[in-house]
Amino acid sequence: MSQLAKNTALIKQKAQELGFFYCGISKAEFLEEEAPRLEAWLNQQRHGKMSYMENHFDKRLDPRLLVEGAKSVISLLLNYYTEEKQSDVTAPKISKYAYGEDYHDVIKEKLRQLMQFIETEIGEVSGRVFVDSAPVMDKAWAKKSGLGWIGKNSNLIHPKSGSFFFIAELIIDLELEADGPIKDYCGTCTKCIDACPTDAIIEPYVVDGSKCISYLTIELKDALLPTEFKGKMDNWAFGCDICQDVCPWNRFSLMHKEPRFNPSKNFLQLSKSDWQDLSEEVFSELFKLSAIKRTKFDGLKRNIAFLSK
């Protein structure tokens, strides 16, 4: 076995030990296929008010501009699927990924451990860890490294595990054995397109971010939500799982094994009136470690009020 193959196997094994259920590797190079798509999507204002999406266009497409001398992009998937549900079916709905601790914190710790392992076992390696925090096209890299295909809802879908997972990267200046992409298995299915209550999936594989419930409830910082979405939010107050819940590939989803993603019973048992009467004090206490704090108290109250009018 060559040193290249040994290093690659070593990293993949450690990633598994750290709880990542898939690890794929791509050569760090310019994302030629994605460049025109990203440009068109931005020009058509599909990013809504996420102005940060317009920044660092070149860096989004070339990892070598983020990490000097970058040779490999290591893509990692961490499962967050849960079968636990909010007890009050009439309560404002929260996306599964936000049930437990904020994934940014959980994953960053694991990535740092992986980086440390690489430096200890392989030698002096420079690189950076990424979880949603920099201009990295994580789905494009994961697809390139064979961890799935991009579905019609623009989510990455793994043929054995569906799509309820987080994607993270290590971009490093170490050459590794690259994996190749796999084919698209969406076929003629349009379940995600048909189920989206705001018609955010404007055509297969193209999502208008400004119509997406996740965007409206998390990214949009306006004092009021657009009235055109009244009665179309399907009771979602933070994020939305509809296009994943209806995806046939998610019948393969299995419960995650990350204790920090387990929801507190207090959170699951909040009734509709508990959410409506939520105080800033309870919000701060209940969601201090959660991704839900991203909306801030006023943002969450805005969403809940919009649903109940």
Helix and strand element counts for the chain (H, E): 12, 10
Q: Please give the Cα distance from 99 to 251 (Å, whole number).
A: 20
Q: Kind and range of the H or E element at 22?
A: strand 22-27
Neighbours of 297 (CB within 10 A): 17
> Which of these is catalytic: 58, 132, 277, 298?
132
- Collect all residues with Cβ–Cβ distance below 8 Å to 180 and sequence separation of at least 6: 146
Q: Which residues, listed in sequence order, are joined to residue 77 by a DSSP beta bridge? A: 22, 167
Alpha carbon 107 to chain centroid, angstroms: 12
Q: Please give the Cα distance from 164 to 308 (Å, whole number).
A: 28
Catalytic residue flag (residue 222):
no
Environment class of 237 (CB within 10 Å of its CB; exposed 0-12, middle 13-18, buried 19+): buried
Whole-Å CA distances, 91 to 86, 168, 235: 8, 31, 8
Report whether 134 contacts 168 (CB < 8 A).
no
Alpha carbon 197 to chain centroid, angstroms: 20
- Give me the active site residues, please: 132
